[in-house]
Structure 1
């Protein structure tokens, strides 16, 4: 058995989690995921200012606090904190180990970079776990990587420990699924869970997986830590930012429709039955660019006549743009009716009118917008004020997913002794990646009385982003609720409940083993989270909006 824990789900996660995981109980490998699509843009901007940067500096500070502890306990550490500069981070870690007098062997994985075209800030392919495995096989205690898949942080250590061949697809797919559950840290232990009131999530612990040679795993957490691990928390994370039954990666394609979840005891959920297929022919890569400039002003509208006040200020600002001949390329207005009638506080008597502008030219979002807003201070609606003084504008980024031949990028394991070992590419599938045919739906519930109620009373949901697309997983926790949900929540019904999705392509996938539906809403997030084109730019709360929508629910389920 191999015990693999997680201590980070993003750049900025709980600083103390490394120490908590090292001291909380037995562990063989501790992993940390620091890279999201947005993070690559942040690291790219860091590197523009200082070419020696480009890695997650938080990780270096965490190692200063815990490197000796990890060595004492014999825990190996694997993290993708190297970002755009894994060699630079590895060098800093070696220097740190020398200063601390801790004899750890540091290795790193590099490669995956694509040539930067005009305007590209970063361009990196998602590598698999084979480079990590090579480093661990060579005796590394600490391995840092650049842009690898989140699951590679688990497939690499598992392949090294169990000696899996590159074509052990079932076992590798099991590790991919376990890695996907671990990658977002406390989201697997009750964090961000739709039924959060069941659990004590004031400070949830971080998850770990007990992996076995056949690729099966038990998801659990250290004793005495907060949160919980049950079938519902694991289901929620399994559906996070995935789409169809085939979950593709460079190590293996995991068939999510074969996953079985079984409660094995308190805070223990077994994952088994996972079938694997060869990886797809092409590697996914992410390109980030600086897309232009963005500015925002939020007008506060208090008391009576909110719609008329909003109409007035919109007309005034648009007129100012026209007179100046400087209307930004994109102008968006959104009125959030947060106000209440006869409110007991001024804040709850107020609505928010949000103006967002974007343009390739910073001047178009700076002085023109600031002047248009500020000059209205004494000449607009009664009670005029804004949440913050308008600024000069900030740069925003865009993300683009592309697919490249594996031979177009390098993949190199730099071992503790400095040797550079090229990592061969796993034999990919020659067949294109296709959706699995929709499985048969369960028998519908027999007709009966219904009541108008929120969907969230009978279904959980979790949502997130992949580039410009939103992913939304919805699941039922009883067989009766699943029989109703599978027939009720069609693409057409989803569009009715979430009107913002109506003009966009929506795809539904059915996962009966998980009693779940997974929806992909193409283009909802524009050019990705960094572009901040939407109020919720990463679609984190899209699922909660859906759960709050009312429809006719069978009384038997309520």
Structure 2
């Protein structure tokens, strides 16, 4: 999403192309980095990694007297920016494969609008302009730069774990086919890619701790990667936060689509992953098996999808449901009269909140209706505003608007298409700046072997048991015994749920079926969605991928939760029948966790 927004700003001449906070971080730390001989690999170069590398080289290295013969060397990795290639391909009618089209039944269920940018959308609507197209590079360019003596490597769109893989690959000088080791580094990179997520942020069990003290001012995580590819996740001593099995399991299950983790350098099989505490704030991750990488890599394409707007309307108290039904019926009628009802890509009436029974304040009694629309043209969006104004005084009892109406003004939005590109078509290079001469350039090359990508596996538990066999139950929220994490991958939400005692796991396996997940989703489930299910036995986890809820990705999603992060806690909040013995175990589990702090 950042790349696409930066691309628009670069075209307008208002952005340098790299992430400014990344440069600021290096500016603050450069003297300490050089004094300690630290090597840095960072993906903050965004659309202009060479430009950022040159600025770091000239202003922070040479400008502070650290350059010259034998001095600190700054380089970059390029080859991910394929926007011109994609634009030329679209103009010729070439089709870019979709990331999910080969998985199970998903290919047949892809919404038609995901290929709008190829001119395959609505009749008479031309292909939408491509704004950015960036391949997810692996670690080959990073390793080559480090091998050639580079000290700071600025990357653009590399896979999130690639900096960690590249650093580990260089440090241990692993062979290209040391698949298990590379796969271990891939997972280690995944664990720390979200900074403080591995030290307590976005953690489902935060409320079991003294969170107002412990979970404030969190540090970033550290992955100590061993020669065999296993890793210990930890944090600096004396800092806040917590690194334990529960936190690491949550992060492992985040943004993970099933058992197989694909990367440009290696394929990681995570089925037998082991996550275990080995000391205070020290958790080892091992058991990852590696294999050759796929022949393709992800190609993130953003294109101008049209225009969007939202109008927020509030209702208080009595007959709230009926009030929202009335405003929807009234507006749809006016749009039809004005010939606009079929002019929208999306016309979504979303009710947010439930009024409190016998409310303690007016705020507690108030909810809001979010009218979210997308259209091919600005005219349609302005037509909606006009239609809304025409019925402005025909509102329900107690109608009021949020004061900020800026979101009602149509704005262009960017849509996401997760494509694929053959790795052999990439021209990945590493460059290094030298004192008084042209930058040195090195080819990163391609993997020498690939393996075919198979459809992701999906299955129910192998030995089903009657839920009654787990003893008497009582109604409780699923989250009383289950932790979870969810996140986005394009249009899809992935969600991993786990219990903390081995004896609870058979119940979770039998309880969390595909049908159960659909039931728990309630009114959010749609027939066009598709679900994959698998299990991580050693983590006591069940993992799902739900294809479709996020539409065309984070930058244009109709949902408030465009990143899918809240999905897991929505499922955990459901009231279900839980074995009484499991609920009785929970105080002891919590006390044990706290005792380890």
Alignment match, 1:380: 395
Are residues 160 and 434 of structure 1, via their aligned partners in 2, closer, same or farther at CA, if it must alter by over 3 Å?
Answer: same
Alignment of 1:399-548 (within 5 A): 399-417=416-434, 418-435=439-456, 441=462, 444=465, 446-499=469-522, 500-503=524-527, 504-548=529-573
1:78 aligns with 2:92: no
Gaps in structure 1 of 5+ consecutive residues? 1-37
Alignment of 1:58-457 (within 5 A): 58-97=21-60, 98-103=62-67, 104-114=72-82, 115-117=85-87, 118=90, 119-199=129-209, 200-327=214-341, 328-329=343-344, 330-365=346-381, 367-387=382-402, 388-389=404-405, 391-417=408-434, 418-435=439-456, 441=462, 444=465, 446-457=469-480
Equivalent residue of 2:4, what SS? helix
Question: Mean alpha-carbon deviation: is it higher for 450-459 or for 373-382?
Answer: 373-382
Q: What is the alpha-carbon distance in structure 1 between the residues aligned to residue 552 and residue 457 of structure 2?
A: 28
1:549 aligns with 2:574: yes
Contact 1:113 1:409 in 2 (8 A): no
Structure 1 residue 412: Cα displacement: 0.3
Contact 1:338 1:352 in 2 (8 A): no
Q: What is the alpha-carbon distance in structure 2 between the residues aligned to residue 320 and residue 62 of structure 1?
A: 53
Are residues 497 and 440 of structure 1, via their aligned partners in 2, closer, same or farther at CA, if it must alter by over 3 Å?
Answer: closer
Residues 375-417 of structure 1: CA distance to partner in whole angstroms, max 9, x if unpaired?
Answer: 5554422332211225321222211112221122211011243
Q: What is the alpha-carbon distance in structure 2 between the residues aligned to residue 254 and residue 373 of structure 1?
A: 53
Structure 1 residue 64: Cα displacement: 1.9
Structure 1 residue 110: Cα displacement: 0.2
Equivalent residue of 1:50, what SS? coil
Please tell me the root mean square deviation across aligned C-alpha atoms, in Å. Answer: 1.9
Contact 1:280 1:433 in 2 (8 A): no
Alignment match, 2:126: none
Contact 2:460 2:534 in 1 (8 A): no
Equivalent residue of 2:370, what SS? strand
Q: What is the alpha-carbon distance in structure 2 between the residues aligned to residue 490 and residue 164 of structure 1?
A: 41
Residues 440-474 of structure 1: CA distance to partner in whole angstroms, max 9, x if unpaired?
Answer: 75785734101111111111111111111111111
Alignment match, 2:124: none
Gaps in structure 2 of 5+ consecutive residues? 91-128, 584-597
Alignment match, 2:113: none
Contact 1:442 1:486 in 2 (8 A): no
Contact 2:458 2:534 in 1 (8 A): no
Alignment match, 2:110: none
Q: What is the alpha-carbon distance in structure 2 between the residues aligned to residue 476 and residue 276 of structure 1?
A: 27
Are residues 485 and 326 of structure 1, via their aligned partners in 2, closer, same or farther at CA, if it must alter by over 3 Å?
Answer: same
Question: Mean alpha-carbon deviation: is it higher for 384-393 or for 487-496?
Answer: 384-393
State the TM-score, normalized to the length of structure 1.
Answer: 0.89
Structure 1 residue 51: Cα displacement: 8.2
Structure 1 residue 316: Cα displacement: 2.8
Alignment match, 1:28: none
Alignment match, 2:595: none
Equivalent residue of 1:322, what SS? helix
Structure 1 residue 85: Cα displacement: 1.4
Equivalent pairs counted in the alignment come to 520
Q: What is the alpha-carbon distance in structure 2 between the residues aligned to residue 379 and residue 443 of structure 1?
A: 56
Contact 1:527 1:533 in 2 (8 A): no
Equivalent residue of 1:529, what SS? coil
Structure 1 residue 311: Cα displacement: 2.5
Contact 1:77 1:142 in 2 (8 A): yes
